[in-house]
Amino acid sequence: MSLSATTLREKAPVPRAAERPASSWSPPSGGRRRVSPGLRRLVDLMDNRFEIAGIRFGFDALIGLVPGFGDFFGMILGAAVVLEALRHRIPLWVVGRMVFNLWLDAVLGSVPLVGDAFDVFFKAHRRNLKLLEENL
């Protein structure tokens, strides 16, 4: 008696869920998802690097002084937090809120004089990092 390949496939037992091989993806750091230290450093540089008279500010406020380019560049750098949120599959409404924070920082920060003060106090990158950490 000869067995064909289709006969062997038909008779092979189907593995149960516990016996199936695990997927190749696993959350970083042993099951708990965390924000990378590099991303934390970027947010700190952008929003809290310097202090004058008790007021903390970062490079976002400094580069925002460059008309046109500064606020756009700050928004591009802030997209790193949004990309990290997408990588961790954070709910889209949270990602939308992060994008809104960056947009608000860029638009209102581009207003002469008032926008520069807004850049110092709004801290969109810090807000987005907090949203990311709350949803991990």
Q: What is the pLDDT of residues 70-91, one digit of tens each?
A: 888 888 988 999 999 999 999 9
Q: And the tokens for 76?
A: 């591009």
pTM score of the predicted model: 0.71
Q: What is the Cβ-side half-sphere exposure of residue 84, based on CA atoms within 13 angstroms?
A: 26
| Residue 18 CB neighbours (<10 A) | 5
pLDDT greater than 70 at residue 10? no
* For the chain, domain boundaries: 34-134
